[in-house]
Amino acid sequence: MEKCLGVISGANIENNFGALCVHRPVYMLPFAGRYRLIDFSLSNMVNQGIKTIAVFTGEKVRSTMDHLEDGKAWDLNRRFNGLFLFPPVSHDLSGRRRGEIPQYYLTKEFFEQAKEQYVFINHPNILAKVDLNLAFKHFRDTDADITLIYKKQQDPFGEYINTHKMNLAEDGSVINIGTNLGTEREFNMYLKMGFLKKEIFIKLVKEAIERGESDNLLETILINRDKYKINTYEFEGHTENIRNLKSFYDANMNLLKKDISRELFYRNGIILTKTKDEPSTLYTESSIVQNSLVANGCVIEGTVENSIIFRGVKIKKGAIVKNSIIMQKSEIQENAAVINSIMDKSGIVGEDVRIAGSMLMPFIVEKKQEIRKD
């Protein structure tokens, strides 16, 4: 995998997440008690031998810079390769165009000068511990120009409507990629990741700019699918496609299932993240905790059920937290209740306050928001 360059570029879908993404991109959403979504993409690449990774940050760059820093947590603070962050470049092209193609073009010298011969594109909002070494071997062995990765996704209840649906020929080649409308119980879900020969990648980007056919790399690939050998690789493991508030909530809740948690955190290497040294969580005699994921540095005096509790959270005596995501440094005071909710960082729910959403639409407490009875 040393011959492969990793590229992470997230789409601008912040509007689907309400108050959670006012000041951060989606890929920087806190996840699983102590991580960010981007940690899964970075870790999976690093654990399987990719040593140069480019992250196209989007406009909300501050939280990205703060979390990733120089890449030390992922062993990417290297002299000649490692982690490269690319904030948006102001230019006539980027002003007229909204997709990722203009940003790739405006940083084309980085790709041209990189020693790697191949490019791996990964969307950070899809969590899937793909064995990249096996996928890369398939890509090389079949002498493909492009290999796109998909999963046969069961969808009897239409939970994956509006995700990318891959239409395949009998030999596994791509006919087209459309939108899943829920008409089938099982469909081929494109995981927004794949391998390209670097010269093909650069050529596609330049041609897209010259012809003005598309600002989106996937659309550009599909427009030119008759010119190149494009095949597919099937991933059979668990995936989380985080595209809106409900899917984010569900992905966190799914971590309370042991088989899913073990696969996402341990398959093909552990998940790395920026370290923050804090003491172990304190559980007092009055605390009751059931089926929950609790990070370090917390003080639990109340009741916690079926919830994800981040670092440094305080849940006071008599407080109840159920089916909720409580982010870092938040506080639920005495006799308060938080049900089916998501609390952003440093939120406060005051004494005797009751807040509740639903499993379909969780209640949101914004970052540093304080809710009191009066």
52 backbone dihedrals φ, ψ, rounded to 5°: -125, 120
257 with 321, same domain? no
Task: Give just the sign of the alpha carbon dihedral 103, 95, 10, 164.
Answer: negative
Q: What is the pLDDT of residue 43?
A: 98
Q: What is the pLDDT of residue 6?
A: 98
Residue 310 in contact with residue 294, Cβ under 8 Å?
no
Query: Does residue 304 lie in a domain region?
Result: yes
254 with 286, same domain? no
Query: Does residue 220 lie in a domain region?
Result: yes
Q: What is the pLDDT of residue 277?
A: 85
Q: Which DSSP symbol is given to 57?
A: -
24 with 171, same domain? yes
Query: Does residue 273 lie in a domain region?
Result: no
333 with 222, same domain? no
Length of the chain: 374
CA distance 184 to 197: 33
Query: Does residue 99 lie in a domain region?
Result: yes
Task: Tally the C-alpha atoms within 13 A of residue 68's C-alpha that lie toward its C-beta.
Answer: 28
CATH number for the domain spanning 329: value is 2.160.10.10
147 with 296, same domain? no
Query: Does residue 191 lie in a domain region?
Result: yes
- What is the full per-residue pLDDT of the chain (374 aa) written as tens digits? 889 999 999 766 778 899 999 989 999 999 999 999 999 999 999 999 999 999 999 888 999 999 999 999 999 998 889 999 999 876 666 445 568 999 999 999 999 999 999 999 999 999 999 999 999 999 999 999 999 999 999 999 999 999 999 999 988 889 999 999 999 999 999 999 999 999 999 999 999 999 998 999 999 999 999 999 999 999 999 999 999 999 999 999 999 999 999 999 999 999 999 988 889 999 999 999 999 999 999 999 999 999 999 999 999 999 999 999 999 999 999 999 999 999 999 999 999 999 999 999 999 999 999 999 87
224 with 175, same domain? yes
DSSP 304-355: EES-EE-TT-EE-TT-EEES-EE-TT-EE-TT-EEESEEE-TT-EE-TT-EE
Q: What is the pLDDT of residue 97?
A: 56
Work out the widest C-alpha separation in the chain, in whole angstroms.
Answer: 68
CA distance 149 to 190: 6
Q: Which of 235, 266, 297 is the last residue of a domain?
A: 266
59 with 129, same domain? yes
CATH number for the domain spanning 168: value is 3.90.550.10
Structural domain range at position 92: 4-266
Closest by Cα among 92, 123, 86 to 108:
86
CA distance 123 to 135: 16
CA distance 249 to 356: 14
